[in-house]
Amino acid sequence: MNQEKIGKFILELRKEKNMTQQELADKIGVTDRAISKWENGRGMPDLSLMKPLCQELGISINELISGEKIDKKEYQDKFEENVLNTINYSQKQIKKARNKYAIIMGIIILFLITFVTLFGIDINRMRNNEPVFFSTWGFDYFPPVNLDNEKITNSIENYIVANGDEHKRHDNSKTFASMRTFLIDEKEENNLYYVYAWVLEECFYYEDEKIINESGSSIPYKFVVEKINDEFEVIDSRIPRDGSYYPKDIKNIFPRNVRKQIEDVHQDGTVKRLSLENQQKAVEHKAQEVERLHQKAEQQLEQISGLSAEEAKAYGLIDEVITRKEAVEK
């Protein structure tokens, strides 16, 4: 079966009928690209399309497969020849399809073998706290960092507190920060650590023996922490912008697995837990301040009265000194 010959034959007959490729395509329910493909010898009409195509071109299926018009005397011979050619063509197409299917299956099997192999490597590396070779399961993975995480956390919280105290509204206000660390990515070449965390910063002030929340912010951060000797210092930080910029900044700043954790912080109780931690820190700070005042009052009273702290307590003088001291400070 000569596709090129058949294509030229279709082209000649279409032009004899004064039809464009689009007009012929519309008549038999195909696209003009299909007609062009047939006429250029790059394909054959499906069996279901041969009858309507032949009807539009005014020929028989036998003539279409022959690629020429046939005299009645040669019709039977051509018919038998075309049957054999059609069978041969069909066998070739089936073989071609099988080869294509085999190639596709080979690619799929190769991909699965590669996937399983890399998955096994990743699992083994993760067990040994080593960087993964390939993120098989579709998210970024970083092994636990072999360092004192508490030092990093403290350096970040001190950084947040220092910035917050610069903008406090009351003289006796104090900023506290608690954080949930999502990921610590160690950059060994320059002693840097990228720390991705959710930080709750709150400023409290004390009034009438009460601890009152003045202001606060709850937001994801990316910190760049530098290790100098055995100490850690925050040298840079990034937060997403508000409004319509927020989703884009989240995507640009945070790795994929961190973004999923960020989405869940309000549902998984993270913010509530961090708020309780800040309140506890504020209470402990207040207790430390009271203790500091007691100690200072004891020292002052001993200097003024010559009484020891135990003696002063017996006379009930320390509380009076503390009360006066607090009044002066206010």
pLDDT at 136: 44
CA angle at 126 for the pair 123 and 127, rounded to the nearest 5°: 85
- Number of structural domains (the chain) is 3
Q: Average pLDDT, stretch 92-102?
A: 68
Are residues 178 and 281 in contact, defined by beta-carbon separation less than 8 angstroms? yes
314/176: higher pLDDT: 176
**129 found inside a domain:** yes
**246 found inside a domain:** yes
104-118, 172-186, 234-248: segment of lowest average pLDDT: 104-118
- Cross-strand pairs, 174: 204
pLDDT at 137: 47
**27 found inside a domain:** yes
Tell whether the torsion through CA atoms of 130, 131, 136 and 138 is positive or negative: positive
pLDDT at 250: 92
Does residue 138 surpass a pLDDT of 80? no
**234 found inside a domain:** yes
CA–CA dist 105, 96 (Å, integer): 14
**307 found inside a domain:** no
Domain of residue 224, residue span = 149-289
Tell me which amino acid residue 274 is.
L
**143 found inside a domain:** no
**Residue 261 maps to which CATH number?**
3.10.450
Per-residue pLDDT of 241-299, as tens digits, reads 998 999 999 999 998 888 888 988 888 888 888 989 888 888 888 888 778 877 777 67
- What pTM value is reported for the model? 0.47
Per-residue pLDDT of 199-230, as tens digits, reads 998 888 877 777 888 788 899 999 999 888 88
- Cross-strand pairs, 233: 226
3-state DSSP of the chain: CCHHHHHHHHHHHHHHCCCCHHHHHHHHCCCHHHHHHHHCCCCCCCHHHHHHHHHHHCCCHHHHHHCCCCCHHHHHHHHHHHHHHHHHHHHHHHHHHHHHHHHHHHHHHHHHHHHHHHHHHHHHHHHCCCCCCCCCCCCCCCCCCCCCHHHHHHHHHHHHHHHHHCCCCCCCCEEEEEEEEEEEEEEHHHCEEEEEEEEEEEEEEEECCEEEEEEEEEEEEEEEEEEECCEEEEEEEECCCCCCHHHHHHHHHCCHHHHHHHHHCCCCCHHHHHHHHHHHHHHHHHHHHHHHHHHHHHHHHHHHHCCCHHHHHHHCCHHHHHHHHHHHHC
Last residue within a domain, chosen from 70, 95, 129: 70
Task: Share the mean pLDDT of the chain.
Answer: 77
Q: Average pLDDT, stretch 124-146?
A: 50
pLDDT-above-70 percentage for the chain:
68
Last residue within a domain, chosen from 138, 160, 181: 138
Residues 110, 156, single domain; the answer is no
Residues 202, 279, single domain; the answer is yes
pLDDT at 326: 54
Residues 29, 102, single domain; the answer is no
pLDDT at 76: 57
pLDDT at 290: 77
Residues 124, 211, single domain; the answer is no
